[in-house]
Structure 1
């Protein structure tokens, strides 16, 4: 097998696996996490050191975490947990953007990636128990525990001390035995002390995402909900602009060959978000919708390609210039995230509105 085949197989897997997170949240995100940890080992096994891969690695990390956040909008039945998830996700992305723009590694410690393990914790709970059992306070405590006891040490190890696990195991003889003992001790605590105190499970093991609420499980229902509750310029459009804009800045900073400034990337994405919001709202009010995510993506992508081509034609008549390859890459990324966001955000809003009504009725 050629090294090029190995390289592109890994890259394709790193882009394809995250797309399974909305349907199989826990197995898919763990698979993404594992692949992220072994991709370099795979390349080394074949004697290949792909140029610029560290940059692509960062970009793909951001991509799969973004899909995980969107999956939380689709799947999570506890609106309180969604609020915590939203904060943790955007908090981290702001820190990553600040780091990419400044190069100050301390920012990665101050803005730890708590979201990823919080997502895993929620989905771990959901495999056996109803997340609606647990209050906002519970989810905040879970997030705080992950933040303090897991992510801060990990972020310090990786980004401040800049230590490598493989090198440390090789160079420090006592490290691996200590690590094994610590893991076994943790497992023993979980099995002998935590497990017996857990409340009875609500259901057998669940690894597939739960069914969507009946009132919004069809594309036509989501379109009707958006037509009734959305405006072109509203909080949803703002969140989507920040979501895709921040991610695009990170991609623009880490990927080689991107010449646009961070501000240019963000403003361009914001313009596309607003235009897409206007088109989407127009389509929703006229009842246009597609149950197939692939068809929805195709429509969004084709629309944005046309917009990019028009922009290129207009700019070519003046002093401006549009780098089509960069633009099409960002439009591809934008279209994936925008499609999923537009499909999943109404579901989260629908659940939150139902929870508010239930709370008001008590």
Structure 2
């Protein structure tokens, strides 16, 4: 009975960690803070309420962290009108993504210090700032200064505490009861900071369509389908999707049971699926077909990708290969979700700036 209860708690926590990030594109600040809170307390919940062994949970934890950070990065395509902030955020995100992928391959903990997660707090800084002022007024030096402050003052000490000293917060509190006051003060500071940010905002911040703003709306010659970079099969978006989804898939492959494929094979499979998806999407766009909703796009692309996996599962035995269908199903849904969000929000990004991602 206890084992069933432990598994129930485990899957509830993991399900929350998968579903909560889907709120980030529409509610960026609330969504990312919710993900951070769940990330901060999940192991504490396991320690207090289950008897689960947690030796290997760090791999799960880092993979789930990268999952919600990936959703956050993709949401910047949708929400960020400051192009320099977007480019800086992209650099910070891929810096962390590369570090987590290397950690998954080597389990060398100092990598998580070297590739510190500055993107997360930079994302929060930007989204909190836009509640109080026009984000387009943020200068390049202000953005660089914010990123440097986050790295030096917040993230390097935090990553050193967690990954080099290997300090457990619960054990630290047990051995130093006064440390609880530090955590309570930190939490109170966050709450008061949020109150200060939100007290002048009487309702949720409206995010009107970029097409409603004549300053950012594309001209007729810049509209999608009018020789913009996404009309070519091989373009920056395709390359970025391959890099992004391949690294994300390799990171998750390290924690899935019975994964026999090499990292190169995973990257090759992901590349094939992305190229096919992109070709089909561009073919439909040229015919004038538009998705009625992002959910419809996700369901149709998922069905197509599952068909590709089923075909591979049928053909591989003829060359002495095989596929773990449970793992394949999970990976297909994961990559399809991110491909769908990326494609949809990149179109908004292109419409906003009337250029390709540079």
> What range describes the TM-score normalised by the shorter chain of this pair?
0.7 to 0.9
Q: What is the SS of the residue equivalent to 1:163?
A: coil
The answer to whether 1:335 aligns with 2:336 is yes
Structure 2 residue aligned with 1:308:
309
The alpha-carbon deviation at position 27 of structure 1 amounts to 0.7
CA distance in 2: counterparts of 1:56 and 1:62, whole angstroms:
10
TM-score, normalised to structure 1, is 0.85
CA distance in 1: counterparts of 2:44 and 2:254, whole angstroms:
25
Structure 2 residue aligned with 1:359:
none
Contact kept, 8 Å, 2:284 with 2:290, in 1: the verdict is: yes
The alpha-carbon deviation at position 139 of structure 1 amounts to 1.1
TM-score, normalised to structure 2, is 0.86
Pair 66,184 (structure 1): closer, same or farther in 2 beyond 3 Å:
closer
The answer to whether 1:56 aligns with 2:57 is no
Unaligned runs of 5+ in 2: none
The answer to whether 1:8 aligns with 2:21 is no
Structure 2 residue aligned with 1:37:
40
Aligned residues: 343
Deviates further, 109-118 or 255-264: 255-264
| Deviation string, structure 1 residues 102-124 (Cα, Å, up to 9, x no partner) | 22221111110111111111110
Q: What are the within-5 Å matches in structure 2 for residues 109-120 of structure 1?
A: 109-120=113-124
Contact kept, 8 Å, 1:21 with 1:67, in 2: the verdict is: yes
The answer to whether 1:159 aligns with 2:155 is no
The alpha-carbon deviation at position 282 of structure 1 amounts to 0.8
CA distance in 1: counterparts of 2:167 and 2:148, whole angstroms:
24
Contact kept, 8 Å, 1:252 with 1:258, in 2: the verdict is: yes
Q: What are the within-5 Å matches in structure 2 for residues 76-225 of structure 1?
A: 76-172=80-176, 175-177=179-181, 204=201, 207-208=204-205, 210-214=207-211, 225=224
Contact kept, 8 Å, 2:256 with 2:327, in 1: the verdict is: no
Contact kept, 8 Å, 2:97 with 2:247, in 1: the verdict is: yes
Pair 84,291 (structure 1): closer, same or farther in 2 beyond 3 Å:
farther
Pair 47,328 (structure 1): closer, same or farther in 2 beyond 3 Å:
closer
Contact kept, 8 Å, 1:127 with 1:206, in 2: the verdict is: no
The alpha-carbon deviation at position 4 of structure 1 amounts to 3.9
Structure 2 residue aligned with 1:46:
49
Structure 1 residue aligned with 2:239:
238
Structure 2 residue aligned with 1:287:
288
Contact kept, 8 Å, 2:233 with 2:278, in 1: the verdict is: yes
Contact kept, 8 Å, 1:55 with 1:255, in 2: the verdict is: no
Unaligned runs of 5+ in 1: 357-362
The CA RMSD over aligned residues, in Å, is 3.1
CA distance in 2: counterparts of 1:32 and 1:181, whole angstroms:
20
Pair 70,209 (structure 1): closer, same or farther in 2 beyond 3 Å:
farther
CA distance in 2: counterparts of 1:138 and 1:245, whole angstroms:
33
CA distance in 2: counterparts of 1:50 and 1:289, whole angstroms:
48
Pair 185,265 (structure 1): closer, same or farther in 2 beyond 3 Å:
closer
CA distance in 1: counterparts of 2:206 and 2:9, whole angstroms:
31
The alpha-carbon deviation at position 42 of structure 1 amounts to 2.8
The answer to whether 1:20 aligns with 2:23 is yes
| Deviation string, structure 1 residues 114-162 (Cα, Å, up to 9, x no partner) | 1111111111001121101112222111111111111111111111111
The alpha-carbon deviation at position 210 of structure 1 amounts to 1.6
Q: What is the SS of the residue equivalent to 1:290?
A: coil
Pair 208,254 (structure 1): closer, same or farther in 2 beyond 3 Å:
farther
CA distance in 1: counterparts of 2:345 and 2:301, whole angstroms:
15
Q: What is the SS of the residue equivalent to 2:224?
A: helix
